[in-house]
């Protein structure tokens, strides 16, 4: 049987890249304390690691949205389910994302945040699926360019599963995973990294 998923980025590769991003952010935000905003839920794992590599004062906040993928949302509409606690007027905002795919979600969020009068708004994404871009959004920081494949782990889910995998996997056999969404559960228990494809 062919394997269902293969490793795309190992935990060690992620750790090194997150550290690089942290250093780049420190050098760009050498004055003031930026507000790092994470989009629930996928972005939280990345945010937690990233902020410990940004060795300067900063604040964090969270927002939650209903995505384009949700059945009850029409294309082009995103609804804020949980808004920020922070007033970002006059602040330097860094939106921290797990993955930018079409960019539609991000484009909505940027418009929404810019309307609140921040000093600046930039984006830091761990994964950039740039080949899939529809909306013209350009993250200032990107961890890895991501191939046009479904990925999971390190915050990213498949039907709410696998956010707690330490590595990022790419799905080789989506039909098999859809037939058995728990097929990759043994990887959680073992902490085993599957082969690269
Ligand atoms: P966009 O609006 O197409 O850029 O959608 C971005 C959102 O889609 C991300 O925040 C993820 O929640 C989800 N997404 C896109 N690609 C993947 C993937 O390969 N695995 C898991 N979630 C994904
Ligand atoms: Mg997301």
Q: Which of 129, 83, 134, 124 is nearest to 104 (CA)?
A: 134
d(CA 192, CA 115): 45
Q: Is 103 in the pocket of ligand 1 (CB under 6 A)?
A: yes
Sheet of 92-100: strand order equals 79-82, 59-66, 35-40, 92-100, 120-128, 141-145
Sequence-ordered strand ranges (E) for the chain: 5-9, 35-40, 59-66, 79-82, 92-100, 120-128, 141-145, 151-152, 168-171
Question: DSSP of 87-124, one letter per residue?
Answer: --TT-EEEEEEEEESSSHHHHHHHHHHHTT--SEEEEE
Report the sign of the C-alpha dihedral through residues 174, 176, 182, 188, in that order: negative
Q: Are 125 and 164 in contact (CB under 8 A)?
A: no
> Residue 196: what pLDDT?
73
For the chain, 197 residues long, give each residue's pLDDT as a single digit of tens. 569 999 999 999 999 999 999 999 999 999 889 999 999 999 999 999 999 999 999 999 999 998 655 544 445 568 899 999 999 999 999 999 999 999 998 999 999 999 999 999 999 999 999 999 999 999 999 999 999 999 999 999 999 999 999 999 999 999 999 999 999 999 998 766 676 76
Q: Is the CB of 150 under 6 A from ligand 1?
A: yes
Q: What is the pLDDT of residue 189?
A: 86
Distance 1 CA to ligand 2 centre (A): 32
Looking at all shown ligands, the one closest to residue 107's CA atom is 1
Measured in Å, residue 76 CA sits from the centre of ligand 1 at 15
User: For ligand 1, is residue 120 a contact (CB within 6 Å)?
Assistant: no
SS3 178: helix
**Protein residue with its CA nearest to atom 8 in ligand 1:** 101
CA 11 to chain CA centroid, Å, is: 15
Residues 6+ apart with CB under 8 A from 89: 116, 117, 118
Nearest CA owner, ligand 1 atom 10: 99
User: How does strand 92-100 pair with strand 120-128?
Assistant: parallel
Q: Is 139 in the pocket of ligand 1 (CB under 6 A)?
A: no
CA of 100 to the centre of ligand 1 (A): 6
Considering only CA atoms, which residue is closest to atom 15 of ligand 1?
Answer: 101
The span from the CA of 13 to the CA of 31, in Å, is: 29
Annotated catalytic residue 101: yes
Cα within 13 Å of Cα(132), Cβ side: 16
Predicted pLDDT of residue 71: 47
């Amino acid at each position: 049987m062919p394997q269902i998923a293969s490793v795309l980025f190992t935990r060690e590769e992620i750790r090194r890249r997150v550290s690089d991003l942290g250093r780049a952010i420190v050098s760009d935000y050498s004055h003031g304390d930026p507000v790092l905003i994470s989009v629930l839920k996928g972005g939280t794992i990345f945010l937690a690691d990233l902020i410990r590599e940004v060795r300067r004062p900063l604040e964090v906040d969270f927002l939650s949205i209903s995505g384009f993928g949700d059945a009850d949302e029409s294309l082009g509409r995103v609804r804020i389910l949980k808004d920020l606690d922070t007033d970002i007027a006059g602040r330097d905002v860094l939106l921290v994302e797990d993955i930018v795919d079409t960019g539609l979600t991000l484009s909505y969020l940027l418009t929404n945040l810019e309307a609140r009068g921040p000093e600046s708004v930039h984006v830091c994404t761990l994964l950039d699926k740039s080949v899939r871009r529809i909306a013209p959004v350009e993250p200032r920081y990107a961890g890895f360019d991501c191939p046009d494949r479904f990925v999971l782990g390190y915050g990213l889910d498949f039907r709410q599963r696998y956010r707690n995998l330490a590595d990022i996997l790419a799905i080789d056999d989506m039909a098999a995973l859809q037939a058995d969404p728990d097929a990759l559960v043994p990887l959680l228990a073992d902490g085993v990294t599957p082969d690269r494809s």
